Amino acid sequence: MYAKTILIVDDEPRTRQGMKKMLDQWCDGSCRIMIAADGEEAIEIMRKQHVHVLLTDIHMPEMSGLTMLRNIREHGLSPVVILISAYSEFGYAQEAIRLGVVNYLLKPISKTDLIAAVEVALQVEEKQTRAIIVEKVVDNRLVQVNEQSQTATERIRSALYYIDTHLEEELTLKELADHVHLNPSYLSVLFKEQVHLTFSEYVTRQRIQRAKELLISTSLPVGDIAEQSGYRTAKYFIKIFKEIEGVTPSSYRKSIH
């Protein structure tokens, strides 16, 4: 299984084969290095195969590199792009930046420059992927709670911190009330008033949030994730997870990956 796919697009056979050879030697089988002779072939490959990094010449017959980039962006494809050219063309810089180009290589390309550019592109791709995952994983309601907690009373902030650090345990309102030295009924009213969620709603959202993070960042079995998220049985955990996320934990993990 390859970690990443890199696609080289250049109408000059010696250039694309040369770059492929250099990158094959560099990655030593950890990446899939693919080649295309023109924009049409590249688009066809990208429709079938997820490409993480795209290296493309600007000037090619039938379809220029920038035209190809506009085309793939319209189709929702977003590889990290390195432009290649036989001569400096700064006139393209503005559109290139808009189309997500992260580097610009001039021919003839040295092995050192090529590898350095690809390493930077892979780092950029990794950051973009993480950002997308975080956006999918984060519970916006909990983000709001975090913002609101800045103006909450000290006891409510203490209550939130206690919940967040004891999620894997069996939490009760009485236990929390004892911890912050308040009457359970009064704490319940105060909690809803300042957090805008009930005690049980907040606990559930935080537990599911933790579960989502574990699902995408580990290969732990669902049963172990249920336990680490504060659920005594996997069956009940799966039921609650599906009620909130609309899918089972296993399906969620597959969709993110």
Structural domains of the chain, ranges and CATH numbers in brackets? 4-134 (3.40.50.2300), 140-256 (1.10.10.60)
d(CA 202, CA 208): 10
Q: Is the pLDDT of residue 111 over 90?
A: yes
Contact of 148 with 194, CB cutoff 8 Å? yes
Q: Is the pLDDT of residue 186 over 90?
A: yes
Q: Give 85: exposed, middle or buried? Use CB within 10 Å, 0-12, 13-18, 19+.
A: middle
The band of 90, judged by pLDDT with boundaries at 50, 70 and 90, is low
In tens, the pLDDT along 2-33 reads: 689 999 999 999 999 999 999 999 999 999 99
Least confident piece of the model among 74-83, 99-108, 109-118, 174-183: 99-108
Contact of 6 with 23, CB cutoff 8 Å? yes
**Residue 208 parent element (H or E):** helix 199-217
In tens, the pLDDT along 55-75 reads: 999 888 888 888 999 999 888
- Name residue 58's amino acid: I
Q: Is the dihedral of CA 167, 168, 174, 177 positive or negative?
A: negative
Average pLDDT, the chain: 91
Contact of 52 with 6, CB cutoff 8 Å? yes
Q: What is the pLDDT of residue 181?
A: 96
The residue ranking higher by pLDDT, 248 or 88, is 248
Q: Is the pLDDT of residue 97 over 80?
A: no
Q: What is the pLDDT of residue 59?
A: 86
43-72 burial by CB neighbour count: b if 16+ within 10 A, else e?
bebbeeeebbbbbbbbebeebbbbebbebb
Q: In what order do the strands lie in the sheet containing 101-106?
A: 31-36, 4-9, 53-57, 80-85, 101-106
Contact of 202 with 194, CB cutoff 8 Å? no
Least confident piece of the model among 31-35, 47-51, 116-120, 132-136: 132-136
The whole-number average pLDDT for the span 194-216 is 95
The band of 131, judged by pLDDT with boundaries at 50, 70 and 90, is confident
Q: What is the pLDDT of residue 93?
A: 66
Helix (H, G, I), strand (E, B) or coil at 167: coil
Q: What is the pLDDT of residue 161?
A: 95
What proportion of the chain, given as a percentage, has pLDDT over 90? 70
Q: What is the pLDDT of residue 148?
A: 87
Q: What is the pLDDT of residue 243?
A: 95
Helix (H, G, I), strand (E, B) or coil at 91: helix
Q: What is the pLDDT of residue 75?
A: 86
The whole-number average pLDDT for the span 137-151 is 90
Q: What is the pLDDT of residue 212?
A: 93
Contact of 54 with 32, CB cutoff 8 Å? no
Q: Is the dihedral of CA 114, 116, 120, 122 positive or negative?
A: positive
Q: What is the pLDDT of residue 62?
A: 84
The band of 130, judged by pLDDT with boundaries at 50, 70 and 90, is confident
The tokens describing 33, both together, are 């290095």
| 243: Cα separation from own chain's centroid | 24
| 37: Cα separation from own chain's centroid | 31
Q: What is the pLDDT of residue 162?
A: 96
Q: What is the pLDDT of residue 240?
A: 96
